């Protein structure tokens, strides 16, 4: 393997740069030429490609975003998209590819691998919604961001004696709400995996208010329902003024935590190792503190298991 291409795809995640740095440096250490493909699969289709060297990835381990930029590329999922990508791969003499992204990006990576291009994937998404790996790169940084926001919102919640709904990202996965709500001491955590019981939220709110608690934080995962409608219902049922904060894309940026940098670097390193060992079609992950890999097909078929034990503990600790 003489040339490896690397791209970042889908929603960006803090720690993608650390993974990229690991891919580039491990490749160069092994005398492999590394090509950086810009803007995800778009760059692969259009030949937006630049050779990388040791200094291209200097000073990025601590930076959020992705220096290669990213995109969600619909054309890539089509037959003509794959054909164009294969042509570019041939023109640039790319022998193997590392894809840094979430499950949509991995589906693209699998297509390439099925079409004879040696490809491996490193899971990078704040959602932590890939069941085959314990954690994805970016998740814990997003959780830190949300916990920090909850602490700030709790101050004003107490001052005003209000309830505050904090809506977080996660697509169809409640992990950000669960982990951040747990660590931030939220009074209620609402996730798609468990559904919503507004009366239970209101009961808790009234009981804790009667005990003299001034604040009430409700961590709500996106996709469960409309935060403003929930707020209206809570206000009507409890008489407590309720505000909504939708954290949005603030969760996607920022300095990656040490943990995200560490798993990103280990998995980026392993990605190049796997290609050099002649392996293809592999998703890399973290299981019980070890770096593991498995076929894309199997990895993509494993549903994310929601930690209902943690959810139940959170309920008990927030009585």
Catalytic residues: 127
* Residue 39 neighbours by CB under 8 Å, 6+ apart: 48, 68, 69, 70, 71, 73
- Exposed e or buried b per residue across 295-309, where buried means at least 16 C-beta atoms within 10 angstroms of its C-beta: bbeebbeeebebbee
Smallest gap, in angstroms, from Cβ of residue 10 to ligand F6P?
Answer: 6
- Shortest Cβ 74–ligand F6P spacing (Å): 12
Query: Interacting stretch for ligand F6P, rule CB under 6 A, among 123-131, 184-192, 207-215, 295-303?
Result: 123-131
Q: Least distance from C-beta 105 to ligand F6P, angstroms?
A: 10
Choose between 162 and 171: whose C-beta lies nearer to ligand F6P: 171
Region 239-298 residues binding ligand F6P, contact defined as CB under 6 A: 252
* Site for ligand F6P, residues 10 to 29, rule: CB under 6 A: 11
Q: For ligand F6P, what does the binding mask look like between residues 136 and 175, x meaning CB under 6 A?
A: ---------------------------------xxx----
CA distances from 22 to 109, 192, 254, 271 (A): 19, 35, 19, 9
Q: At what angle do helices 16-29 and 258-276 cross, to 10 degrees?
A: 40
- What token pair was written down for 188? 């209620």
User: What is the three-class DSSP state of 306?
Assistant: coil
- Strand-pair category, 216-221 with 119-123: unpaired
Nearer to ligand F6P, 193 or 222 (CB): 222
Residue 172 C-beta: closest distance to ligand F6P, Å = 9
Using CB under 6 A, which of the segments 17-25, 74-82, 120-128, 305-313 binds ligand F6P?
Answer: 120-128
Number of residues that bind ligand F6P (CB under 6 A): 10
Nearer CB in complex with ligand F6P: 239/248: 248
Adjacency order of strands within the sheet including 282-287: 49-52, 33-37, 3-8, 96-101, 119-123, 282-287, 290-295
If one asks whether residue 126 binds ligand F6P (CB under 6 A), the answer comes out as yes
Enumerate residues 209-228 that contact ligand F6P by CB under 6 A: 222
Q: Which residues contact 54 (CB under 8 A, 6 or more apart)?
A: 24, 25, 28
Closer Cβ to ligand F6P, 157 or 304, answer by number: 304
Answer whether 207's CB lies under 8 Å from 223's CB. no
- CB of 12 vs ligand F6P, minimal distance in Å: 8
Minimum distance, C-beta of residue 83 to ligand F6P, in the bound complex (Å): 26
Give the up-direction half-sphere exposure of residue 23: CA atoms within 13 A in the CB hemisphere: 35
Residues 6+ apart with CB under 8 A from 206: 238
For ligand F6P, give the closer residue by CB, 37 or 126: 126
75 vs 114, which CB is nearer to ligand F6P?
75
Q: Cβ(187)–Cβ(216) under 8 Å?
A: yes
State the residues that interact with ligand F6P by CB under 6 A: 11, 102, 125-127, 169-171, 222, 252
């Amino acid at each position: 393997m003489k040339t490896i291409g690397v791209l970042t795809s889908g929603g960006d995640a803090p720690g993608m740069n650390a993974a990229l740095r690991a891919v580039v440096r491990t490749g160069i250490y092994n005398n492999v030429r590394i090509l950086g493909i810009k803007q995800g699969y778009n760059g692969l289709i259009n030949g937006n490609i630049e050779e990388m060297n040791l200094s291209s990835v200097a000073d990025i381990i601590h930076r959020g975003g992705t220096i290669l930029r990213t995109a969600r590329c619909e054309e890539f999922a089509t037959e003509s998209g794959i054909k164009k990508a294969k042509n570019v791969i041939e023109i640039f003499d790319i022998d193997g590819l590392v894809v840094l992204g979430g499950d949509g990006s991995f589906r693209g990576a699998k297509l390439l691998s099925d079409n004879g291009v040696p490809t491996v994937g490193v899971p990078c998404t704040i959602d932590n919604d890939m069941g085959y790996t314990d954690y994805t790169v970016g998740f814990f940084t997003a959780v830190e961001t949300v916990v920090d926001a909850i602490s700030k919102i709790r101050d004003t919640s107490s001052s005003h004696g209000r309830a505050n709904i904090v809506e977080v990202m996660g697509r169809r996965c409640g992990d950000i709400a669960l982990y951040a709500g747990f660590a931030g001491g939220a009074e209620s955590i609402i996730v798609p995996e468990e559904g919503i019981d507004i009366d239970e939220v209101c009961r808790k709110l009234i009981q804790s208010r009667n005990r003299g608690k001034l604040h009430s934080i409700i961590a709500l995962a996106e996709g469960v329902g409309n935060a403003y409608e929930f707020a209206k219902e809570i206000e009507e049922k409890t008489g407590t003024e309720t505000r909504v904060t939708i954290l949005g894309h603030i969760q996607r940026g920022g300095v990656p935590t040490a943990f995200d940098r560490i798993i990103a670097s280990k998995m980026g390193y392993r990605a190049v190792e796997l290609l050099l060992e002649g392996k293809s079609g592999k998703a890399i992950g973290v299981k019980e503190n070890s770096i593991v890999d498995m076929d894309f097909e199997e990895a993509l078929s494993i549903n994310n298991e929601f930690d209902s034990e943690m959810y139940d503990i959170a309920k008990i600790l927030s009585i």
